Structure 1
Amino acid sequence: MIKLLNKLLRNVYVQGSFFLTVSSLLINFINYLFHFLAARILKPAGYGNLAAFYSYAIICSVPILVFTVIIVQRIGSHVKNSRQYTRTIVIRFLLILKKILPILFLLFLLTPLLSSYTNLPVEITYLIFPSILLSSVLGFYLAVFQGLKIFLLFSILSLILALSKLLSIFLPLFYLGQLFHVLLFQTTGIAFVLLISAFYTNKFLKLTDTELSKSSRTNLDKIIFNRQFFITLMSMMAIVIISNYDIIYVKRNFEANVAGFYSAWSIFGKITYYLVGPVLQVVLVFFSNRSQSKSQEKVLYFSGALIVLVGIFTYFSYKFIGERFVLILFGNQYQSIYAYLGYASLYGITYSCLNLMNTYFLAKNSLSALILPVALPAYLFLITQVKDSLQNIMHLNIYFSASVFLLYTCSHIYSRIKTNNGR
């Protein structure tokens, strides 16, 4: 028993799970504290603008998000020469970034056109492109750390980022600025963490200025134009849209205060997902590792059971003390949310299970990861049919997430039966 325990403690995935669990609990607490303070300080209208800004930024970051997921998958699958392989990936990425910077600058010049489309204040839209660019590059470096299983550094940098985000909300609290200054402070924090990440990566991989200044061909076709990129692009785009489009839709079609209420409900709904977030971060690397194939089924079932248990806990917590939660955390202006907390807990379970199965199939580079993208048009159509009812949008989120999860499960069962019959 002692030998087994020692073996588990030396396992890089167990260590990574510990670091990510501790840091994620702290980060999620900090993020929730930020949102609670933001909802109180900025009021429903301002909080609705904040949530919409985040949603637009996340959706626009899908291409680089896909690239980072592939980075984790590929580095995680190269067990023997992962550092040398990572050096090649980092050099390629930096050369690509250098080439596309002029294009990104031209896109920034289109910023004035965004205000009328997004229904956001003009000054806030000027921060969308800088925030997306810095977050995307930082996301790449964090993916490198995750793929190399440097979970401690990944956790520390993520924690620093969360703390800078929390500090930003104190600006309007002490009358030092409004929402624009909050987002500007956050963008500066992202740039700071990015500099630390780049410095450490260059030292760890021993990159030279000569390598980083080369203009040779980067063989982009090997990274982008393949089955893995297509599956990951479609799947991650669908995940990001399903996670954020409802907030954007409510912001564009409902009053500002209503958008703030719905954004707060969405926070309660995704608590289950945030609590099991560390598990999903680790399992992406774990499921990508071919040497761990025998244990992957058990980990998948355990992760699913954990999500259900956490979801049940949040359901009863909302039922018995949910009203106090809303009052203490958001204030009197958000009391109407309490009536919908039951829906929030159900959405949390179905949404988290959907993400787990999607992560599993992505790591396996399976065509089953395209189930959500194929089903997404139905969601986008149905949400336009519930213009006057937030409750119907909540119901749609629950039913759609549950339906897609069921399809994922059926695909997994079919795959297992097919594998067993082939033996």
Structure 2
Amino acid sequence: MQLATILKSKKITQEQLFMLSVLAVNGGNYLYNLILGRVLGPAAFADAAVLITFLLVLSFAAMTFQLVTAKFSMLFEYQLFQSFIAKVYQNAFAVGLLFGVAIVVFAPTLQEIFNTSSSTMFVVFGCGVPIYFLMSVNRGVFQGKKAFKLLSITYQTEMWSRLLVTLLLILVLDIKSPVIIAIGILASFVFGLIPFKSSNVSFKRQTISQTHKKAIRSFFIITAFYELTQIIINNSDILLVKHYFESYEAGLYASLALIGRIVYFIAWMFVMLLLPTVVQLKKDGKETASVLFKYIGYIAGISLSIVVGCFSFPELIIQLLFGDSYIAMAPLLYKYAIATSLFAISNIFAYYYLSLDKYIPVVISGIFGMLQVALVIGYHDSLNQVVHMQIVAMALLLVIQIVFFKATSKKA
């Protein structure tokens, strides 16, 4: 009785609720991947990993619309907001439709490039792309208005539906096919729209002043460029490994990447809170560096703990998460965690400056994203070498971001 009274007296803020929700979503997504890894085995899991990587690529592409929506939802009010949000929905659906059709049309080519067992899985995935873009704009509204409770619900519905639908299809149909994985992903896009405010959608022509159009366009272009660098840095290694290595090795590497990237997925939670906070502080004329330092401290502490854990108990971690079939990746686990930790901290710098409309760090990220790809293409004699190339690229990226921060801080 006393415990219930204490819990009622301590109100959980929407930000805290969102952070707890993100932890639950990341946990659910990890469970989803772990189950697939155990059920399918390394070779078949390599195909599933391609679809999961495509999902991550899609999420970064759609994140452009989400961040643009979030930022200008905070800055625009009343009629201007209504015109803006309706226009964004129109453009997001058009871009999503374009990407979706491209994936469907080039499905056989994608099968050949990534050595998958099916082209149908790309067709099914492509059909859901326009829905995902609409879902991202919907989330952007919630993020910009700091409606973190509703934002949490959309991530929860997406994650749980993907997990449950996929498992149900595998158990009922007893088919271990990548097409089943694609159907589960498509279903999650539909459920991820919940809750959806249809009143924000309009097919009427929207009127926005040239000044506002220019501001929106500039932020959209630079954000799209940065999300492209995110796609390259986060996903190029898995796709390149799938291209250069046999399916068995690619499946082993996919399990390594999944475990090592837990640092980035946790960092993403702080990025979602960072952008609206920094934009609001800038709008109010207040200093913003303290927010950056706070989130860097969080990510650095979490990263160090994960790297130490991966170094100390690599075999135990892999056995618990994926099983003995993936144990060969144990020596590389802490190294991959180092690479993702370096990137996660660099990412906080980039999003911080993106919130302040300073775009040089975004260009820096793009340069080092291409460097990572070039290094992996040039040096891929072994999976160990692939991981080493990523550490080199991400270490250089972090050093340059820190140097830029110190240089601009002195000028300020």
Scaled to the shorter chain, the TM-score interval is: 0.7 to 0.9
Alignment-derived partner of residue 113 in structure 2: 117
- Give the letter for the 1:26 counterpart: A
Residues 414 and 329 of structure 1: is their aligned pair in 2 closer, same or farther, counting only changes over 3 Å? same
Q: Matched residues in 1 for 2:31 and 2:260: separation?
A: 16
Report the AA paired with residue 94 of structure 1. Y
Whether 1:233 aligns to 2:224 is yes
Tell me which of the two structures has the higher relative contact order, counting C-alpha pairs closer than 8 angstroms and 6 or more residues apart. Answer: 1
1:338: which partner in 2?
A: 330
State the distance in 1 between where 2:52 and 2:344 align.
20
Q: Corresponding residue for 2:86?
A: 91
Whole-Å separation in 2 of the counterparts to 1:144 and 1:318: 38
Contiguous gaps of at least 5 residues in structure 2: 1-9
SS of aligned partner of 1:387? coil
Alpha-carbon distance, 1:17 to partner: 2.6
Match of 2:127 among 99, 124, 130: 130
Counterpart AA for 1:112: P
Distance 1:85 1:154 in 2: 22
Structure 1 Cα separation of the partners of residues 183 and 208 of structure 2: 34
Correspondence list, 1:92-241, <5 A: 92-96=87-91, 107=102, 108-120=104-116, 121-170=118-167, 171-178=169-176, 179-194=178-193, 196-198=194-196, 201-202=197-198, 212-215=202-205, 222=213, 226-241=217-232
Instruction: Write the letter of the residue equivalent to 1:181.
Output: I
- Number of residue pairs matched? 396
Q: How many angstroms apart in 2 are the aligned matches of 1:126 and 1:224?
A: 36
CA RMSD across the alignment: 2.6
Alignment of 1:290-329 (within 5 A): 290-291=282-283, 294-329=286-321
Per-residue deviation at 1:187? 0.7
Amino acid at match of 1:185: G
What one-letter code is carried by the residue in structure 1 that aligns with 2:363?
L
For 1:235-314, list aligned pairs within 5 A.
235-289=226-280, 290-291=282-283, 294-314=286-306
Counterpart for residue 19 of structure 1: 17
The answer to whether the 8 Å contact 1:31/1:162 transfers is yes
TM-aligned CA distance change 1:383 to 1:371, over 3 Å = same
Structure 2 match to 1:400: 393
Q: Which residue of 2 aligns with 1:5?
A: none
Q: Is the 8 A contact 1:16 1:282 kept in 2?
A: no
1:4-43 mapped onto 2 (5 Å cutoff): 15-43=13-41
C-alpha contact (below 8 Å) 2:69/2:85 kept by paired residues: no
- Whether contact under 8 Å (2:223, 2:354) holds in the other structure is yes
Contact 1:138 1:193 in 2 (8 A): yes
CA contact (8 A) 1:95 1:214 kept: no
Segments of structure 1 that go 5 or more residues without pairing to the other structure are 1-8
Q: Which amino acid aligns with 2:381?
A: D
CA displacement at 1:294 relative to structure 2: 3.2
Counterpart AA for 1:114: L
Identical columns (%): 19
- Are residues 345 and 72 of structure 1, via their aligned partners in 2, closer, same or farther at CA, if it must alter by over 3 Å? same
Distance (Å, rounded) in 2 between the aligned partners of 1:256 and 1:100: 32
Query: What's the TM-score, normalizing by structure 1?
Result: 0.85
Q: Is the 8 A contact 2:93 2:131 kept in 1?
A: no
- CA offsets, 1:165-200, max 9 Å, x none? 221342324544333123202211211332x333xx
Give the whole-Å Cα distance in 1 for the aligned partners of 2:348 and 2:273.
Answer: 11
SS at match of 1:276: helix
**In 2, Cα distance between equivalents of 1:292 and 1:186:** 41
**Distance in structure 1 (CA, Å) of the matches to 2:244 and 2:208:** 44
| Structure 1 residue 293, shift from structure 2 partner | 5.4
Q: 1 CA distance for matches of 2:207 and 2:84?
A: 13
Counterpart in the other structure of 2:5 = none
Q: Quick one: which amino acid aligns to residue 87 of structure 2?
A: R
SS of match in other structure, 1:298: helix
- For the structure 1 residues 417 and 348, does the alpha-carbon distance in structure 2 shift closer, same or farther, using more than 3 Å as the test? same
